[in-house]
């Protein structure tokens, strides 16, 4: 259990506890964050140049560019990216969070999550692709393009009609934890509870049965919404002078990175090793991509692998890949009980100062992708955030003080 020792960290924690994330609407990325047609957003910190972009993200970028109408085919799309005509930038620099290798283009619809009492605190996430050739898996094919098109031309407009009164998300997350989710690697309960809220409005839409069956068959559907909710919660503390509360956490397949509330916009990075886990397919370990995805924001808040003690199913799936006494890591590193989860005693908020003072590393549950971009998801595992991230943050805060 963390005892906060710095006034700025205490203040930033109090700020995030006041945020009540609500799903308000769907917007295109062009409208939501003024995303240019020539820019794509990806998970994690920035790549140093186009040649460094990992193949799964490049694949998703190719599909996105054809979807957006910027390229006629995948070959032209790849040329646009590698030549620098299309730029890729970190999604979280736009307050967008995107899973694994999924990229966001200007015409894609995003969930808009706002603080119920302060609309200036808001974040965004793309529609979860469910099973099949989903964008997050980083494969490039005609099927992936067709699925992306269906998500935005059919399901997306229907979703726009179900959230205009506001869908609260803290209650869904609390209910899902009570029934064994961890709100990252496992979200089927959260998806069911979300569907219970939106079903009455969804049922009046044309082709409702297809929409319902898609969500029912997509246990991770709630995850994208909760990723954005987690980001919105942490954004409540952005700009707290001298605070070491981590408000950004993500990886791009090559590097993992964080940002802290006291130095918003400044990335601290380290090499991203593959998650420690097992494959579901018969391929050598060398095919594993380094850690990837903005979904680490969920764990850094206090859920996912940091809340694995609440999920027996996740302990069974990933327990063998946890460090020694890993079940207690979340409770020991996070800063404060969250009132919305009082029945569970779940704690939230990780500061770089307290991380550096501990002998533990924050844990993230992640899918493992094929670094060749051919197979998609290989399995799942646990990623331990490198300690150097906390060291670099604390040193930078000391210099800026």
CATH 3.90.1700.10 residue ranges of the chain are 7-15+238-400
Domain 7-15+238-400, architecture per CATH: Alpha-Beta Complex (3.90)
188-192, 205-209, 293-297, 319-323, range with the lowest pLDDT: 205-209
Tell me the pLDDT tens digit for each residue of 86-138.
999 999 999 999 999 999 999 999 999 999 999 999 999 999 999 889 999 99
**What is the average pLDDT score of the chain?**
96
Give CA–CA dist 148/156, Å, rounded: 10
CA distances (Å), 31 to each of 28, 107, 112, 124, 292, in order?
Answer: 5, 9, 11, 12, 26
Give CA–CA dist 308/35, Å, rounded: 36
User: What dihedral do alpha carbons 88, 92, 98, 103 form, nearest 10°?
Assistant: -10
- pLDDT value of residue 6: 92
Q: Could you tell me the pLDDT band of residue 168, with boundaries at 50, 70 and 90? A: very high
User: Across residues 25-39, what is the average pLDDT?
Assistant: 98
User: Which residues have CB under 8 Å from 313's CB, separation 6+?
Assistant: 180, 186
Q: Assign domain 22-230 to its CATH superfamily.
A: Enterococcus faecalis V583 domain (3.90.1710.10)
Q: In the structure encoding, which two tokens stand for residue 315, read together? A: 């302990």
- pLDDT value of residue 293: 98
Q: Could you tell me the pLDDT band of residue 2, with boundaries at 50, 70 and 90? A: low
- Per-residue pLDDT at 3 exceeds 60: no
CA-wise closest residue to 253 among 41, 84, 44: 44
CA-wise closest residue to 353 among 264, 261, 263, 245: 245
- Per-residue pLDDT at 1 exceeds 70: no
Give CA–CA dist 161/281, Å, rounded: 39
Tell me the pLDDT tens digit for each residue of 240-249.
999 999 999 9
- Per-residue pLDDT at 5 exceeds 80: no
- pLDDT value of residue 308: 97
Q: Kind and range of the H or E element at 277?
A: strand 276-279
Tell me the pLDDT tens digit for each residue of 186-224.
999 999 999 999 999 999 888 899 999 999 999 999 999
Q: In the structure encoding, which two tokens stand for residue 295, read together? A: 């979904």
- pLDDT value of residue 4: 55
CA distances (Å), 396 to each of 34, 44, 200, 226, in order?
Answer: 30, 20, 50, 30
Tell me the pLDDT tens digit for each residue of 356-366.
999 899 999 99
User: Which residues have CB under 8 Å from 363's CB, separation 6+?
Assistant: 299, 304, 305, 306, 308, 322, 323, 326, 329, 330, 382, 383, 384, 385
Task: Give yes or no for a contact between 193 and 187, defined as CB atoms under 8 angstroms apart.
Answer: no
Q: In the structure encoding, which two tokens stand for residue 157, read together? A: 């407009």
Give CA–CA dist 144/329, Å, rounded: 38
User: Across residues 296-322, what is the average pLDDT?
Assistant: 97
Please list the residues that pair with 293 across neighbouring strands: 251
Give CA–CA dist 58/65, Å, rounded: 10
Tell me the pLDDT tens digit for each residue of 50-76.
999 999 999 999 999 999 999 999 999
């Amino acid at each position: 259990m963390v005892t906060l020792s710095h006034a700025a960290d205490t203040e930033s924690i109090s700020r995030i506890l006041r945020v009540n994330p609500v799903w308000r609407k769907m917007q295109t990325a062009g409208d939501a964050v003024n995303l240019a047609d020539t820019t794509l957003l990806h998970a994690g910190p920035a790549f140093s140049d186009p040649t460094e972009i990992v193949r799964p993200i490049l694949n998703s970028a190719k599909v996105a560019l054809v979807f957006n109408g910027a390229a006629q085919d995948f070959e032209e799309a790849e040329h646009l990216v590698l030549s620098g005509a299309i730029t890729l930038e970190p999604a979280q620099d736009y307050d967008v969070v995107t899973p694994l290798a999924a990229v966001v283009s200007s015409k894609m619809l995003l969930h808009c999550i706002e603080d119920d009492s302060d609309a200036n605190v808001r974040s965004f996430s793309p529609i979860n692709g469910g099973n099949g050739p989903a964008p997050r898996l980083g494969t490039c094919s005609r099927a992936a393009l067709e699925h992306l098109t269906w998500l935005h031309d059919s399901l997306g407009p229907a979703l726009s009609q179900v959230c205009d009164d506001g869908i609260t998300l803290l209650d869904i997350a609390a209910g899902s934890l009570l029934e064994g989710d961890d709100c990252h690697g496992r979200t089927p309960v959260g998806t069911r509870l979300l569907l219970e809220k939106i079903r009455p409005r969804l049922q009046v839409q044309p082709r409702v049965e297809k929409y319902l069956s898609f969500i029912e068959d997509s246990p991770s559907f709630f995850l994208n919404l909760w990723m954005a909710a987690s980001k919105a919660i942490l954004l409540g503390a952005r700009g707290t002078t001298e605070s070491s509360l981590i408000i950004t956490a993500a990886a791009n397949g090559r590097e993992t990175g964080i940002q802290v509330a006291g130095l918003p916009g400044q990335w601290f990075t380290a090499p991203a090793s593959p998650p420690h886990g097992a494959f579901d397919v018969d391929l050598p370990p060398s095919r594993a991509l380094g850690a990837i995805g903005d979904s680490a924001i969920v764990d850094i808040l206090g859920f996912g692998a940091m809340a694995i003690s609440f999920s027996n199913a996740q302990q069974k799936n990933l327990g063998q890949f946890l460090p020694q006494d890993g079940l207690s890591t979340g409770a020991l590193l996070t800063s404060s009980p969250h009132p919305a989860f009082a029945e569970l005693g779940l704690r939230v908020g990780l500061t770089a100062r307290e991380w550096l003072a501990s002998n533990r590393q924050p844990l993230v549950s992640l899918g493992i992708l094929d670094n060749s971009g051919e197979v998609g998801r290989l399995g799942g595992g646990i990623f331990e955030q490198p300690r150097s991230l906390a060291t670099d943050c604390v040193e930078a805060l000391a210099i800026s003080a």
